[in-house]
Structure 1
Amino acid sequence: MGTPQQYPEEILRSVTVSDFDIDIHEVTNSQFATFVDETGYVTTAEKPQVGFDVPGAAVFMPPSIGHPNWWRFVEGANWKNPEGPKSNIQQQGNYPVVQVSFEDALAYARWAKRDLPTEAQWEFAAKANSETRYVWGDVRSPDGKEMANTWQGAFPIQNTNEDGFDLRAPVGCYPANSFGLHDMIGNVWEWTKSETGQSSEATIYAIKGGSYLCAENYCARYRSAARQFQEADLPTNHIGFRTVSPSNPTPIR
């Protein structure tokens, strides 16, 4: 796991994993809707949030003079309204579900009789035996062809949308890796069940793969070795998940 080429937290290390299977793409809005319809599950973002006392979640918005922060709490943002009440997922059944907390993702996995991947499982699946900087090679966009849904331009103020998408993209619209897996890089970050121990005040898990907000001038974590840390109870509009076979499943808390 890891690489010596980028960030300190990507330190090279050796890990062994047993056989497992993993979803070929992120869990979609349609799949998550079926889960909610059958169980009546209410997600974290649909409940009053600590510090705000209203339902909602974090949404990325390009900064402005009046609002310099690009992450804002938006009342009413949830998996059905990822950017807030004025947004929806109509005609986006095959897009990755977002605005799901770690608990939400784990609940879906349990319902599907599966589990969330460990960071090691996820990275092994993403690398697909490759040894290059990106799974497809050492050049991010070979011959000008975008290989994943990322940010083109100067983040966070200019997105040229050369890949054709301003936000999330439908699952599977970019080439699969040699294991036949789509969207392991870009589109949305993905939850893993590996805790990072980064904070004594909140449970932090590793998320993997980067998202449509990763750019060459900022973050650059649209690589299989990259890792980011996320509070378990913080849903956002650029984090989703996929599931694995339930080898050593995570206990329900």
Structure 2
Amino acid sequence: MAEKRKIIRPLRACAVLTGLVILLAACEREADTAQIPAQCPTVTEPTKSKHISLPAGTFTMGAHPTYAEEGPPRDVNVSAFNIDATEVTNADFAKFVEATGYVTDAERTQPGFEQPGGVVFRPPTLDNPSWWHFVAGANWRAPEGPESAAEDSFESRAREPVVQVSFNDARAYAAWAKRRLPSETEWEYAANSGATSIYVWGDERAPDGVEMANTWQGSFPIHNTQADGYAKRSPVGCFPGNAFGLYDMIGNVWEWTDTVAGQTELETAYTIKGGSFLCAPNFCRRYRAAARQAQEAGLPTSHIGFRTVSK
């Protein structure tokens, strides 16, 4: 199958993997220093309150940039709004599909591709150094594709954030729920929750060696020690919430906002926020509230989900 569509920044290789052969060989020798993670609770705090009402306020949006598009810091006023405590889960999305018969973009042939499917992360190999692949048949039900292991199906991962959903799919779900997608400003205000530190939980990425979000530990994209307990997506609410009582604002999966980031030849690109399980200290480093990326509206992937808001 010919893959014709050009994938923009968050999904393309942003740098050449210098010394890939050496890195791959080194991975076989690297000691796994991951601590045994605590089990994610079966009943999490987010189940107590599905939505959180946030007060109006002023906060510093942006940062002295790690990446140019993050700055400059500026004070922004935000009106009161209500936001989901967690990312929308597979179970949530399944109810929407059952009620409406909705068919996602990944389940239809999209411009630039020859058959339905989505973009999937796969660790590079010596034969293929790319880590992003269009996989025919990948969709929200089988996020890694039709050959996904049974444990990767949406039925067995009901509490995980739904992925392989485009901006269009996320907006359709939000409309059905009588809600909407957050603006980038609303999203960042919610994630910051009053913090002025580097990360929303403090100035250390992993204080006292404790992973505070589902991100990548080790050398991306070759070796993930899984010190946080997860190789891919985790159930929502497994990591500490922020001061507003919101979970997984950082890490796990990127989240759609309704803020336009730019335009490609095919479609509008929207801003995504929060980073994902693929963000690592040696690559991406976007597990910060100010971090932002542009993503094509109609391009579903295995590491982007969403949450909704209302006034």
Question: TM-score of the superposition, structure 2-length normalised?
Answer: 0.77
Partner of 1:71: 132
Tell me the secondary structure at the aligned position of residue 16 of structure 1.
strand
Task: Write out aligned runs for 1:10-89 (5 A).
Answer: 10-11=70-71, 12-87=73-148, 88-89=153-154
Query: Structure 2: any 5+ residue segments left out of the alignment?
Result: 1-60
Which of 84, 90, 98 lines up with 2:155 in the alignment? Answer: 90
Are 2:304 and 1:239 aligned? yes
1:2-33 CA-to-partner distances (Å, cap 9, x unmatched) read 10041110112333221101000000000000
Q: Which amino acid aligns with 1:59?
A: V
Letter in 2 for 1:183: D
**Aligned-partner Cα distance in 2 for 1:46–1:200:** 22
Amino acid at match of 1:133: I
Q: Report what 1:214 is aligned to.
A: 279
**Which structure 2 residues correspond to residues 1-253 of structure 1 after superposition, within 5 A?**
1-11=61-71, 12-87=73-148, 88-197=153-262, 199=264, 201-245=266-310, 247=311
Mapped to 2, the partners of 1:197 and 1:231 lie a distance apart of 9
Instruction: Give aligned pairs, total.
Output: 246
Tell me the SS of whatever aligns to 1:34.
helix
Higher strand share: 2
Range that drifts further, 29-38 or 58-67 = 58-67
Q: Which amino acid aligns with 1:71?
A: W
Q: Which position in structure 1 is the counterpart of 2:32? A: none
Distance 2:281 2:263 in 1: 25
One-letter amino acid of the counterpart of residue 172, structure 1: G
Residue 150 of structure 1 deviates from its aligned partner by: 0.1
Q: Distance in 1 between matches of 2:119 and 2:156?
A: 23
Q: Deviations over 1:109-135 (max 9, x none)?
A: 000000000000000000000000001
TM (norm. structure 1) is 0.95
What RMSD in Å do the two structures reach over aligned CA positions? 1.1
Counterpart AA for 1:65: L
Structure 2 SS opposite 1:224:
coil
Are the equivalent residues in 1 in contact too, given 2:262–2:294 (CA < 8 A)? no
The residue type equivalent to 1:216 in the other structure is: P
Which residue of structure 2 lines up, in the alignment, with residue 250 of structure 1?
none
2: distance between equivalents of 1:197 and 1:166? 31
Q: Share of identical aligned residues, percent?
A: 62
1:22 maps to a residue whose letter is: I
Gaps spanning 5+ residues in structure 1: where? Answer: 248-253
